[in-house]
Amino acid sequence: MILMAIAAASPTPAPVVPGAGIFTSPLLMSLLVWVTVVSAIAIAILPNPRGRYDVLMKQIGFFTNLGLVFILFVAYNQFEAFLPTAQYEEKVPWLQAIGASYHLGVDGPGMVMLILSGLIGIISVLASLGVRERVRTYFVLLLLTQSAINGAIVARDMFVLILFWSAAVVPIAILILGWGGPRRHAAAWRLVGYWGLGTAALVIGTMVLYAAAGGSSFDMDVLLKATISPRVQLVVAIAMIVAAATRLPLFPLHGWARDVYAEAPIGVTVVVAGSAARLGAYLLLRVVIAAEPAAAHLLSPVLAALAALTVGYAALAALRTIDIRQVGAYLSMIPGGITMLGLAALSPLAIAGSVLSLFAGGMAAALIVSACATLADRAQSRSLQVLSGLAPRMPILAWLLTIAGFGILGVPLFGTFLAEILTFFGSFKNQPIGAFAVAAGLVIAAIALASLFRRVLFGLPNPDAPGVSDASLGETWYLALLAGALLWVGLFPSGPKLPGTDTPLFDQGLVNVLAAGISDISSPYTGATPSPTP
Amino acid sequence: MNVKNLVLVPEALVAAAAVLLLLGSRLGWFGSSSRRYLPAAVAGVAIVALGVELWAGATVSTYFGGGLVQDRFALFAKAAVLLALAIVLAVADWTAEDSVSIGLAMPLLAAFGVMVAASAGDLVALWAGLELAAAAGVVMVSLRRPDLALRLVITGGVATSLLLIGLAFLYATAGTSDLTAMREVLFGGAPTIALAIPLFLAISGLALRATLPPYHLAGIPTILGASPVGAGLVLGLVAAAAAVVAIKVAAVLTPIPSVYSSYLEVIAAVAMVGGGAAALAVRSPRARMAYLAAGQIGWVAAGLVTHYRAGLAGSMFLLGAFAVAATVGPAVMGRAEGGEPALAGMAVLRPARAAGLTLAMLSLAGAPPLAGFFGEFAVGAALAQSGHFGLLALGILGALLSLAAAVGTLRLIYLQSPLEEARRGAALPVLTRLSTFGAVAFCIVIAAYGLLSNPILGLADQGAEALGLR
């Protein structure tokens, strides 16, 4: 019904800029959201006597995600990087009585998030090919999770955002309960608790905003552009920070992260660390930084403090823990802290850094948790007291773990390096203490990683350790894809060009795409006039 | 035939079918093979009644000197209850019921009671409709557990007394039993303690009928002891009847909301949070469903606290989702004597029922993107508009607790391996084409409620307008 209504709705405005694409579709955003749901339904109703079609279900999951990446590729290449406003918009009235509409669209930062989600989606399926039990249920839930994440990214109406934001909780919790490690129950219930708290905060913040804006519409174009008193802005911003902190996660609302990243099946950790968690920072960017400048100014030191505490705590905890999956879990919190620092700085450069950090940090976080989990699986132990001197016996995993560590730290050539450079350059002026504290946290993280590498990869082999084997081809594929994406953005932030020219080959560059929305978002902090809504 | 006369055809069909079933049962018209065709035939009657209601129900008219009124509110409530009735009759496992003919007749009578309450133009019809629905519940429970039926009679008697006292004082204050006239009189009146106290009693009576925490102590054991259809009747239809009465009384009292809103706010808050917390605490799947339903009916009450059109429309919208999920949910679950093991691995053994049960639990918990979520969101928006942020926060807390409870049951259904018959503790529901069709239809209704929420909420909004709200 919704799809039919969308089809009948006015299409995306015709491109006004020469060179605009020919593949634009009024259904592009809906396709990104609903294709996975249709696939999930297909898998759910497919007869599967005695697991005969388990492989087919995995193939459906894989090719669905491949199709999504193709759609994304079209959207990405047709994206008008020089337009700061939302593109590929779809708008259909939904709950007219309360002013909610099915409004989708994407701007520069949103497109960056979509690319992240698309890549993470296909990598999560690759990481899940080893699932043997209840394959049908697993892939149905995984596809529903991906749909919820994509929906939250492209939502341009707060009602739609809440719908998709909260829709991810149940499938992820069941995935952990059904396919997780020994402490899966604690992990799942903690996830439900923390993410539930975040959802509650999001709903309350939205409702306060809705009431303050006249109670007539949940559309972001109305709510986020309404003139709201600083006091209400503050209430909304605090609620949104709580919502974001539970997702990203940020200290002190990070309680779910260690258990979930350490206990969830690898495919699920990839999705949660890679894209679901980034939604927290994306929410903050969209609702607080872009729309509530008074509150953002007031709370920016708090955000910087949260960023510093998160990075410092995560690094120290990673240094102290003796479980390699928990080390990965703690280290995966660090990119979130850096993203938050960029948002706290309220300067165009830092905001651009934080948006790039959404992508690069998501990839790095997914890589470190999945590399640690794969290593633990292959070495048949999670204990750092047992794991030692593994580099000669598992060279591929050793390389991938090293790349993951470098990705977290942001060494040159990696996408995270560029994100951190932009973030730190943009934040040293506005948030010097926070920036120094985050940098100090990164130093501790480097020590934790060095300690991990020295012990696990290059220490003396433990004669009492169980047998180990290197990563399989499938594991190498998904880990290498994550590492490759990190390196690609680090090497070609503006996309590869034809030799000797400025003509892009097939990728117009993430930095160019994300820049499309930055001018609008940062306009309250630079004095520039925001672009009018088309 | 005049369209105005067609408006009463659904009521006539439902009542006639119920009477025929009771007579047939008494006179031995139905043989042992009746289990095969009777449910399908009666579900067909409910679908025909629903079709007639949707076709002719838009005609605004009055009957019996104003005793019954057909307006948008009546259309909405009657359509919702007929839909719930048709699905529950189709999806039920009739081998788990004590008597097919009575098991079919009582839901029909309860639905008839809700329909009478929905189109009531005065206090008498309002009360009569509620009592009819409740009496049908007592009969259903008594088929299996006379002791629990007695308990239901006693608590029902208390509820009726409280409600009658309240309505009598309301009548005495306004000098009329006609709801529209009463509302006009109250426009010129002032809120008084003398009116607030009887309304306190009336709301308590309705809460007792709807099994709302903290008035659930008698109702929940009854629901646990009844047959699946009986449990759905008490949990869904009787609660829906009480909610319909509450909405109509709240609409009458909107000129002087202060006489009831504070108490209703407490009731709603306790129900939303208490329902969610209790659902999380209990282990029995049916008890969990009962508490989830109690939590959601708390949201319906919260919408009434706003005493605005948007709030009442939100409550009605949610009531539609609630009526379907709460009535059908226990029937989809089937026998619950085995407790948690009865549901272990249900997804493997009965996939359509498992999907239905999943959607029922999640919808009652308010999980997106199902019917309950849309309804609770509409009520939440109305609470925000009217500044009831505290109640909204408590409602969200209750919804989170409910969601966690629902996840616990889904774990049983999807992640546990099926147990053998002896350890299961209860027989699996018998697989028939009708029950599978009913389960699939139920899934479609619960999932499509959100997609079709614009016209449904629009109709609910017109219903609130028909009650005189602006």
Contact A174 B453 (CB under 8 A): no
Interface test with A, best of B312, B400, B436 (most A CBs within 10 A): B400
d(CA A528, CA B305): 45
Contact A94 B314 (CB under 8 A): no
- What's the pLDDT score for residue A515? 78
Q: Spell out which residues of chain B touch residue A200, defining contact as CB-CB under 8 Å.
A: 393, 396-397, 400
A254-297 residue pLDDT tens: 999 999 999 999 999 999 999 999 999 999 999 988 888 888 88
Contact A96 B454 (CB under 8 A): yes
Interface test with A, best of B76, B361, B415 (most A CBs within 10 A): B415
Give A3's pLDDT tier (boundaries 50, 70, 90): very low
Q: What is the mean pLDDT of residues A380-392?
A: 88
The answer to whether residue A394 sits within a structural domain is: yes
Contact B448 A178 (CB under 8 A): no
Residue recorded with tokens 């399908």: B40
Q: How far is CA A446 from the centre of its chain?
A: 23
Chain B within 8 Å of A1 (Cβ-Cβ)? yes
Nearest-CA distance from A529 to chain B in Å? Answer: 31
From B387, which residue of chain A is nearest by alpha-carbon distance?
A211
Those residues with Cβ within 8 angstroms of residue B64's Cβ, 6 or more apart along the chain or in another chain = none
The interface pTM score, or ipTM, of the predicted complex is 0.88
d(CA B206, CA A302): 48
- Which pLDDT tens digits describe chain B residue by residue (470 residues)? 566 778 889 999 999 999 999 999 888 888 777 777 899 999 999 999 999 999 888 888 888 887 888 899 999 999 999 999 999 999 998 888 888 899 999 999 999 999 999 999 999 999 999 999 999 999 999 999 999 999 999 999 999 999 999 999 989 988 888 988 888 888 877 788 888 888 899 999 999 998 888 787 777 888 888 999 999 999 999 999 999 999 999 998 888 888 888 999 999 999 999 999 999 999 889 999 999 999 999 999 999 999 888 899 999 999 999 999 999 999 999 886 667 788 888 888 888 889 999 999 999 999 988 999 999 999 999 999 999 999 999 999 999 999 999 998 888 888 888 877 777 777 777 778 888 999 999 999 999 988 888 899 999 999 988 887 76
d(CA B219, CA A40): 39
Nearest-CA distance from B345 to chain A in Å? Answer: 11
d(CA B397, CA B405): 13
Nearest-CB residue to A203 (from B369, B380, B461): B380
Domain that holds residue A111: 26-524
Contact indicator for A314, A441 with CB cutoff of 8 Å: yes
Position A197, amino acid: L
B268-290 residue pLDDT tens: 999 999 999 999 999 889 999 99
Nearest-CA distance from B311 to chain A in Å? Answer: 10
Contact A95 B380 (CB under 8 A): no
Q: Spell out which residues of chain B touch residue A98, defining contact as CB-CB under 8 Å.
A: 310, 314, 377-378, 381-382, 457
The answer to whether residue A533 sits within a structural domain is: no
**What string of H, E and C letters represents the secondary structure of chain B?**
CCHHHHCCHHHHHHHHHHHHHHHHHHHCCCCCCHHHHHHHHHHHHHHHHHHHHHHHCCCCEEEHHHCEEECHHHHHHHHHHHHHHHHHHHHCCHHHCCCHHHHHHHHHHHHHHHHHHHCECEHHHHHHHHHHHHHHHHHHHHHHCHHHHHHHHHHHHHHHHHHHHHHHHHHHHHCCCEHHHHHHHHHCCCCCHHHHHHHHHHHHHHHHHCCCCCCCCCHHHHHHHCCHHHHHHHHHHHHHHHHHHHHHHHHHCCCCHHHCHHHHHHHHHHHHHHHHHHHHHCCCHHHHHHHHHHHHHHHHHHHHHCCCHHHHHHHHHHHHHHHHHHHHHHHHHCCCCCCHHHHCCHHHHCHHHHHHHHHHHHHHHCCCCCHHHHHHHHHHHHHHHCCCHHHHHHHHHHHHHHHHHHHHHHHHHHHCCCCCHHHHCCCCCCCCHHHHHHHHHHHHHHHHHHHCHHHHHHHHHHHHHHCCCC
Contact indicator for A128, A266 with CB cutoff of 8 Å: yes
Reading the block at residue A100, the tokens are: 């909610």
Nearest-CA distance from A384 to chain B in Å? Answer: 32
Q: Where are the alpha helices (DSSP H) in A213-292?
A: 220-223, 230-247, 255-263, 266-271, 278-283
A63-102 residue pLDDT tens: 999 999 988 888 888 887 777 778 888 999 888 888 999 9
Nearest-CA distance from B367 to chain A in Å? Answer: 7
The answer to whether residue A368 sits within a structural domain is: yes
Contact B396 A178 (CB under 8 A): no
Coil, strand or helix at A219: strand
Contact indicator for A151, A279 with CB cutoff of 8 Å: no
Average pLDDT of the residues of chain A: 88
* Nearest Cα residue to B160 out of B125, B196, B131: B131
- What's the pLDDT score for residue A190? 92
d(CA A46, CA A55): 12
Contact B373 A163 (CB under 8 A): yes
Nearest-CB residue to A98 (from B369, B381, B397): B381
Beta-strand pair A87-95/B68-70: unpaired
* Nearest Cα residue to B380 out of B455, B268, B287: B268
A233-255 residue pLDDT tens: 999 999 999 999 999 999 999 99
d(CA A48, CA A53): 5
From B416, which residue of chain A is nearest by alpha-carbon distance?
A178
- What's the pLDDT score for residue A528? 57
B217-228: b or e for each residue (b if 16 or more CB lie within 10 Å)? ebbbbbbbbbbb
Q: Spell out which residues of chain B touch residue A197, defining contact as CB-CB under 8 Å.
A: 400
Q: What DSSP element (H or E) covers A35?
A: helix A28-45
Interface test with A, best of B376, B385, B444 (most A CBs within 10 A): B385
Tell which wins on pLDDT, A401 or B428: A401
- What's the pLDDT score for residue A23? 54
Chain B within 8 Å of A204 (Cβ-Cβ)? yes
What residues of chain B have any CB closer than 8 angstroms to a CB in chain A? 310, 313-314, 347, 355, 362, 367-369, 373-374, 377-378, 380-385, 387, 389, 392-393, 396-397, 400, 403-404, 406-407, 410-411, 414-415, 448, 451-454, 457-458, 460-461
d(CA B400, CA A109): 30
**What string of H, E and C letters represents the secondary structure of A505-518?**
CCCCCHHHHHHHHH
The answer to whether residue A5 sits within a structural domain is: no
Q: What is the mean pLDDT of residues A475-490?
A: 92
d(CA A139, CA B170): 58
Nearest-CB residue to A203 (from B396, B406, B415): B396
Q: Spell out which residues of chain A touch residue B279, defining contact as CB-CB under 8 Å.
A: none
The answer to whether residue A17 sits within a structural domain is: no
Number of domains present in the structure of chain A: 1
Nearest-CB residue to B400 (from A44, A95, A200): A200
- What's the pLDDT score for residue B57? 83
Q: Spell out which residues of chain B touch residue A97, defining contact as CB-CB under 8 Å.
A: 310, 313, 378, 457-458, 460-461
Interface test with B, best of A207, A209, A223 (most B CBs within 10 A): A207
Nearest-CA distance from A494 to chain B in Å? Answer: 39
The answer to whether residue A4 sits within a structural domain is: no
Contact indicator for B18, B103 with CB cutoff of 8 Å: no
d(CA B470, CA B461): 10
Instruction: Kindly report the number of other CB atoms within 10 A of residue A52's CB atom.
Output: 9
Chain B within 8 Å of A189 (Cβ-Cβ)? yes
Residue A14 buriedness (CB in 10 A; 0-12 / 13-18 / 19+)? exposed
pTM of the model: 0.90
Chain B within 8 Å of A417 (Cβ-Cβ)? no
Q: What is the mean pLDDT of residues A459-486?
A: 88
Nearest-CA distance from B452 to chain A in Å? Answer: 7
The answer to whether residue A3 sits within a structural domain is: no
Helix and strand numbers (H, E) in chain A are 22, 2
Nearest-CA distance from A211 to chain B in Å? Answer: 5
- What's the pLDDT score for residue A68? 92
From B408, which residue of chain A is nearest by alpha-carbon distance?
A174
* Nearest Cα residue to B178 out of B254, B120, B246: B120
Q: Spell out which residues of chain B touch residue A95, defining contact as CB-CB under 8 Å.
A: 374, 377-378, 453-454, 457
d(CA B213, CA B295): 8
The answer to whether residue A298 sits within a structural domain is: yes
Contact B407 A177 (CB under 8 A): yes
